[in-house]
């Protein structure tokens, strides 16, 4: 075991993720770096297309997705749930209701993530299964900008609950909408063709052993 650790004194762990994972990955990396101070981290937050390009270049040890892209030769390890919740500004009339029908919620001015976003994909697939077309008025390629647009009273949205765990989300209200939250999952993925480096293996074990507890503390799951 000790010799293992010695071998890990230096090196780089490379992770890239689509934007919504950026809220929790740093909270895994912080304690990991304390345990292994010699390991450098290269953490890329990009849009899904760029993450897929990085997969093609073979530079990263891990990719983090909730909607794992189809057609890539990936090993997939599920990590934790990713609930997508309905949000509105705290003054929105819907906040007065105890329970809102999915149809009524989707008739509000709806703000949605950009084409290619995993969050958007999950929402579209879910609403299609319910035969509901949302009243999309605005497409925004950023969770934070969606939160600010909701705060400004521009409309409602459905986002990962993890986007609400910090800062900007003050005054955003989660609305109790029928059939929600939409349940998806975060996964760590790596290319099947690529052998995991010793550092990557240690990180994977660390995530399996300590990841859940850390997330419970940080995200108040
Ligand atoms: P995104 O993240 O909505 O920010 O793209 C989710 C995912 O990777 O599936």
Q: Which residues pair with 81 in a beta bridge?
A: 185
User: Which residue among 117, 121, 162 has the greatest number of ligand 1 atoms within 8 angstroms of its CB, and so is best to mutate?
Assistant: 117
- CB of 151 closer than 6 A to ligand 1? no
Phi and psi of 38, rounded to 5°?
-85, -5
CA–centroid distance, residue 169 to ligand 1 (Å): 18
Q: CATH 3.40.190.10 occupies which residues in the chain?
A: 2-80+185-219
CA–centroid distance, residue 74 to ligand 1 (Å): 16
Q: CATH 3.40.190.290 occupies which residues in the chain?
A: 82-183
- CB of 119 closer than 6 A to ligand 1? yes
Please name the fold of domain 82-183.
D-Maltodextrin-Binding Protein; domain 2 (3.40.190)
- CB of 126 closer than 6 A to ligand 1? no
- CB of 113 closer than 6 A to ligand 1? yes
The pLDDT profile of the chain, 221 residues, written as one tens digit per residue, is 554 555 556 789 999 998 899 999 999 999 999 999 999 999 999 888 889 999 999 989 999 999 899 899 999 999 999 999 999 999 999 999 999 999 999 999 999 999 989 999 999 999 999 999 999 999 999 999 999 999 999 999 999 999 998 776 778 999 999 999 999 999 999 999 989 999 999 999 999 999 999 988 887 65
In angstroms and rounded to an integer, the radius of gyration of the C-alpha atoms of the chain is: 19
- CB of 163 closer than 6 A to ligand 1? no
- CB of 65 closer than 6 A to ligand 1? yes
CATH of domain 2-80+185-219: 3.40.190.10
Write the burial class of residue 66 (CB in 10 Å: 0-12 exposed, 13-18 middle, 19+ buried): buried
């Amino acid at each position: 075991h000790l010799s293992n650790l010695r071998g890990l004194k230096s090196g780089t762990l490379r992770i890239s993720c689509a934007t919504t994972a950026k809220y929790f990955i740093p909270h895994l990396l912080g304690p990991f770096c304390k345990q292994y101070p010699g390991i450098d981290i290269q953490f890329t937050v990009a849009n899904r297309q760029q993450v897929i390009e990085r997969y093609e270049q073979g530079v990263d040890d891990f990719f983090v997705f909730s909607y794992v892209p189809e057609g890539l030769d990936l090993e997939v390890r599920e990590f934790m749930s990713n609930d997508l919740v309905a949000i509105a500004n705290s003054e929105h009339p819907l906040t007065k209701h105890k329970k809102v029908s999915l149809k009524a919620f989707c008739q509000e001015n709806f703000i949605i993530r950009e084409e290619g976003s995993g969050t958007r994909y999950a929402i579209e697939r879910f609403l299609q299964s319910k035969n509901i077309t949302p009243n999309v008025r605005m497409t925004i390629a950023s969770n934070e900008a969606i939160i600010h647009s909701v705060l400004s009273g521009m409309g409602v949205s459905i986002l990962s609950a993890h986007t609400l765990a910090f800062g900007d989300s003050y005054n955003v209200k989660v609305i109790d909408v029928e059939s929600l939250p939409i349940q998806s999952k975060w996964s760590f993925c790596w290319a099947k063709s690529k052998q995991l480096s010793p550092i990557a293996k240690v990180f994977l074990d660390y995530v399996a052993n300590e990841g859940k507890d850390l997330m419970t503390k940080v995200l108040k799951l």
